[in-house]
A and B are shown apart, each in its own frame.
Chain A
Amino acid sequence: MLKYLKNVSTLTLDPDTCIGCGKCTEVCPHGVFEIADKKARILDKNSCMECGACVLNCPANALEVNAGVGCAAAVIMGWFTGKEPSCDCGDGCC
């Protein structure tokens, strides 16, 4: 898989709160997590694309990330409109 910029992801995991249910390993599309000793562990943080699926599906609230869209056009649109970058940039986009 293609790799993007290193050391930028805002993903954090609180091992004390984690209940080791493994939902994060189920939803992560980049294999960022693994379960070891009944706890989740961040295996490959540089592959994290900050989509936020793990945070939303963690029943123990053990995960945090500044989730959003990794889209330059959305960021530029956000600068012009003063809003958070989102996919709602009109007709052309996804």
Chain B
Amino acid sequence: MSQTCCSENSCCCSESTGQAVNISTSLTFRDHWGAFKVRWGVGRTNYRVEPGLYAVGGPDENSPVLVSANYKLTFDTLRKNLAGLDCWLLILDTKGVNVWCAAGKGTFGTDELIDRIQMTGLSEVVAHKRLILPQLGAVGVSAHEVTRRTGFSVLYGSVRADDIRAFIASGYEATKEMRTVKFTLRDRLVLTPVELAETLKPLLMIFGVLFLVNLFAAKPFGVYDFCVFVGTIIVGSVLTPALLPILPGRALSGKGWILGLVWTAAALWLFGWLMPVQWLAVIGYLLLFPAVAAYLAMNFTGCTPYTSPSGVLKEMKIALPFIIGSGVAGAVLILINHLVG
């Protein structure tokens, strides 16, 4: 196989010889800027490093082998936590996707791991037969299957890269804390920019339609409607995820609906219920906007590390009819109010 270089940094490695390229454990401005961009969804699907074997520090044949994904954000998070250690990194081709999502897709999987062990000639590089995988990779990798086919035993390390040093230092003993996935305020907030960016396209389409409606409207849509609408999107995509643990109930759509209702009611109250009071529009607002917030909050299930598919299906079967019914009724009332006047 020919030598290839990855686009985002200069790490190259020859897969055929098993020669690993030494990598740094400190991140540059460029790494941080790249991370910022992908958090907003810019160029995220192509933010990758070359799969293969990498060296951290000065590893020898007895040094541990850590396995990870070729999403550059994952790669950077891992290597910055390895300062001062001597180890090998076996990077799988996960098509630029993080460990957990790639494991769910099967790209961080048993077959890819076995192929990569063979392609890099790992058994000639190290004298031991032990691989350390991130625990969340277990969704795609069958440890006993890997052992059966390659002789390498698979040890699942900590969930988070921050704990990997402690895991190695303790002689590969993970505490319950290291084994449990968390979803802190920070964890939730870093995911929200992508959620916001995702709403941009449908948002522009809706604005286009409203622009056309305005041409015929007796009472055109204005800045006020715009503010309530944008506020609702922030409530559903950012505020609900941020306040997740303190919002009542378990269903995410319910949490989003409650916060959406509070926001819409507050916005209506602040502006004197659309002075002079327009009851048709007020009812329309209260039907439409909480439903939009509920829908956006429901979509956050895909970002959480604790919602089961059975649960999501149950939630959707109950919530979707309400969201659609309430949303359509609200939109019709608002349109009538604006068109008829």
Does any Cβ of A come within 8 Å of B313's Cβ? yes
The interface-forming segment of B52-60, B231-239, B265-273, B295-303 is B295-303
A26-B179, A57-B138, A57-B143 given as contacts; is B299 within 8 A of A73 (CB)?
yes
Contact, CB under 8 Å: A87 / B139: no
Contact, CB under 8 Å: A86 / B105: yes
Pair count A-B, CB < 8 A:
139
Chain B residue numbers with a CB within 8 Å of A92 are 41, 194, 197-198
Does any Cβ of A come within 8 Å of B156's Cβ? yes
- Distance between Cα atoms of A69 and B140 in the complex (Å): 13
Contact, CB under 8 Å: A59 / B144: yes
Contact, CB under 8 Å: B309 / A5: no
- Distance between Cα atoms of A91 and B155 in the complex (Å): 32
Contact, CB under 8 Å: A8 / B314: yes
Mark contacts of A16-41 with chain B using CB atoms, 8 A cut-off: 1 yes-contact digit, 0 otherwise. Answer: 00000001011111110000000000
Cβ-defined partner of A73 (8 Å) among B97, B143, B302, B309: B302
Contact, CB under 8 Å: B309 / A50: yes
Contact, CB under 8 Å: A26 / B135: yes
Contact, CB under 8 Å: B105 / A71: no
A8-B311, A29-B180, A94-B98 given as contacts; is B139 within 8 A of A71 (CB)?
no
- Mostly helix, strand, loop or mixed at chain B's interface? helix
Mark contacts of A72-87 with chain B using CB atoms, 8 A cut-off: 1 yes-contact digit, 0 otherwise. Answer: 1111100000000111
Contact, CB under 8 Å: A69 / B309: yes
The interface-forming segment of B17-25, B220-228, B244-252 is B244-252
- Distance between Cα atoms of A75 and B250 in the complex (Å): 19
Contact, CB under 8 Å: B299 / A72: yes
Contact, CB under 8 Å: B45 / A91: yes
Nearest-Cβ distance from residue B35 to partner chain A, whole angstroms: 16
Closest to B182 in A: A1
Closest to B142 in A: A56
Contact, CB under 8 Å: B302 / A3: no
Does any Cβ of B come within 8 Å of A15's Cβ? no
A30-B180, A73-B302, A91-B45 given as contacts; is B139 within 8 A of A56 (CB)?
yes
Within 8 A of A (CB), among B177-226: 179-183, 194, 197-198
Contact, CB under 8 Å: B302 / A69: yes
Chain B residue numbers with a CB within 8 Å of A10 are 310
Number of interface residues of B (CB under 8 A): 51
Chain B residue numbers with a CB within 8 Å of A69 are 104, 302, 309
Contact, CB under 8 Å: A70 / B316: no
Chain A residue numbers with a CB within 8 Å of B138 are 26-27, 53, 56-57
A56-B139, A94-B97 given as contacts; is B182 within 8 A of A70 (CB)?
no
Does any Cβ of A come within 8 Å of B176's Cβ? yes
- Distance between Cα atoms of A6 and B181 in the complex (Å): 19
Contact, CB under 8 Å: B179 / A4: no
Does any Cβ of B come within 8 Å of A63's Cβ? no
Does any Cβ of A come within 8 Å of B141's Cβ? yes
Contact, CB under 8 Å: A72 / B301: yes
Nearest-Cβ distance from residue A14 to partner chain B, whole angstroms: 17
- Distance between Cα atoms of A46 and B301 in the complex (Å): 16
Closest to B245 in A: A2
28 A-B residue pairs with CB within 8 Å: A1-B181, A2-B245, A4-B308, A5-B308, A9-B308, A10-B310, A23-B143, A23-B144, A26-B179, A27-B138, A27-B156, A31-B179, A49-B307, A50-B310, A53-B103, A53-B136, A68-B309, A69-B104, A70-B308, A70-B309, A70-B311, A71-B301, A71-B309, A72-B298, A75-B309, A75-B316, A86-B104, A94-B97
| Nearest 10 pairs of A and B residues by beta carbon | A71-B302, A70-B307, A27-B138, A68-B309, A53-B138, A29-B181, A94-B101, A5-B311, A50-B308, A59-B144
Q: Told that A2-B306, A31-B176, A50-B308 touch, could you supply 17 new A-B pairs with CB distance under 8 A?
A: A1-B182, A1-B306, A2-B304, A5-B250, A5-B314, A5-B315, A6-B250, A8-B314, A29-B181, A30-B180, A49-B305, A56-B140, A68-B309, A69-B302, A69-B309, A72-B315, A94-B97
